[in-house]
């Protein structure tokens, strides 16, 4: 008889993971943007996801992100450096690993819940949109730094939002609302629940356990059905990458990056 694959737990380079009954709790560390731009992490993420998927120990994955010490500054510096160096290697890395992470989250049989607080840039919101359920603390602010850079959002945002929102809310979110607080995010469907910062961890874990009370096969089957319309995501990411590099190489982008 083959040895059962165990659900991976412990401290990893930019996250920790531990199993709480049938919930795998993953907590991201600081400087997430820097880690995502490191292509060496790609295989680690892929291998980790494969182990989780094959282990069968977890029915629900809870991702916890605390962005209280981050914001738009790192995102702005990243694109400014890419434009000035004209290398674009790190941008290629970030596009690759982000698209793989988003598609990997959607491809998991386990239900994925994302809990967040702090200033969440559009890139991390878009990764969150690939999750099945989203909980935000009341101190959360969703920011769109790409607007000040003359760029477009990375991570599948327009793809997800076009399926979630009516046209008016869609364009307001993408082009008019540079900052969206937690209550507004709840109203327009960016998140499914808002709680106080002090209650975030408990609420997220309790919610994860409630979902985990269901049959694993039911969860997996429903997730595949709900995500059926998202089969074109790979083609979308190819177009998104083209548009991002087109914007970064355009003549008018300089006035945004130099402000």
Q: What is the structure's pLDDT at 78?
A: 82
d(CA 214, CA 216): 6
Q: What is the structure's pLDDT at 157?
A: 94
Cβ count within 10 A of residue 198: 10
What's CA 210's distance to the chain center, in Å?
22
d(CA 236, CA 98): 13
Q: What is the structure's pLDDT at 129?
A: 95
Top-confidence residue, 23 or 9: 23
Check if the beta carbon of residue 185 is closer than 8 Å to that of residue 173. no
Residue range 91-145, pLDDT digits in tens: 888 888 889 889 988 888 999 999 999 989 998 999 999 999 999 999 999 998 8
Least confident range from 39-48, 61-70, 137-146: namely 39-48
Per-residue pLDDT band for 1 (boundaries 50, 70, 90) equals very low
Residue 80: is it exposed, middle or buried by C-beta count within 10 angstroms (0-12/13-18/19+)? middle
d(CA 216, CA 108): 12
What are residue 23's DSSP bridge partners? 20, 60
Distances (CA, A) of 202 to 60, 143, 155: 15, 25, 28
Check if the beta carbon of residue 96 is closer than 8 Å to that of residue 39. yes
Q: What is the structure's pLDDT at 250?
A: 80
Residue range 182-236, pLDDT digits in tens: 999 999 999 999 999 999 999 999 999 999 999 999 999 999 999 888 888 999 9
Give the percent of the chain with pLDDT over 90: 45
d(CA 116, CA 131): 12
Q: What is the structure's pLDDT at 257?
A: 59
User: Where along the chain do its domains lie?
Assistant: 10-257
| Residue 244, pLDDT above cutoff 80 | yes
Q: What is the structure's pLDDT at 128?
A: 94
Distances (CA, A) of 126 to 83, 103, 130, 134, 221: 23, 12, 7, 11, 23
Q: What's domain 10-257's architecture?
A: Alpha-Beta Complex (3.90)
Residue range 141-171, pLDDT digits in tens: 999 888 888 889 999 999 999 988 888 889 9
| Residue 90, pLDDT above cutoff 60 | yes
DSSP string, 90-118: HHHHHHHHHHHHHHHHHH-SSEEEEEEEE
Q: Mean pLDDT, to the nearest integer, of 11-20?
A: 85
pTM of the entire predicted model = 0.88
Check if the beta carbon of residue 140 is closer than 8 Å to that of residue 192. no
Using alpha carbons only, give the angle 231, 236, 239 rounded to the nearest 5 degrees.
155
């Amino acid at each position: 008889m083959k040895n059962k694959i165990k659900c991976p737990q412990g401290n990893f380079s930019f996250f920790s993971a531990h199993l709480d009954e049938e919930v795998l709790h993953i907590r991201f560390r600081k400087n997430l943007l820097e880690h995502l731009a490191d292509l060496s992490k790609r295989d680690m993420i892929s291998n980790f996801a494969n182990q989780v998927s094959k282990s069968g120990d977890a029915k629900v994955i809870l991702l916890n992100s605390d962005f209280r010490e981050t914001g738009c500054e790192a995102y702005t510096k990243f694109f400014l450096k890419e434009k000035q160096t004209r290398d674009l290697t790190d941008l290629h890395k970030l596009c690759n690993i982000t698209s793989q992470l988003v598609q990997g989250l959607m491809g998991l049989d386990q239900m994925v819940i994302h809990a967040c607080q702090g200033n969440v840039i559009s890139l991390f919101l878009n990764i969150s949109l690939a999750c099945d359920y989203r909980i935000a603390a009341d101190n959360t602010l969703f920011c769109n730094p790409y607007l000040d850079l003359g760029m477009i959002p990375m991570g599948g945002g327009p793809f997800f939002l076009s399926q979630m929102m009516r046209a008016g809310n869609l364009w307001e979110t993408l082009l008019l609302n540079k900052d969206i607080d937690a209550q507004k995010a709840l109203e327009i469907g960016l998140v499914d629940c808002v709680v106080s910062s002090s209650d975030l961890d408990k609420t997220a874990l309790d919610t994860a356990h409630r979902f985990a009370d269901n049959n694993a096969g039911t969860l997996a089957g429903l997730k595949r059905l709900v995500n059926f319309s998202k089969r074109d995501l790979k083609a979308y990411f190819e177009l998104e990458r083209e548009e991002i590099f087109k914007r970064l190489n355009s003549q008018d982008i300089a006035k945004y990056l130099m402000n």
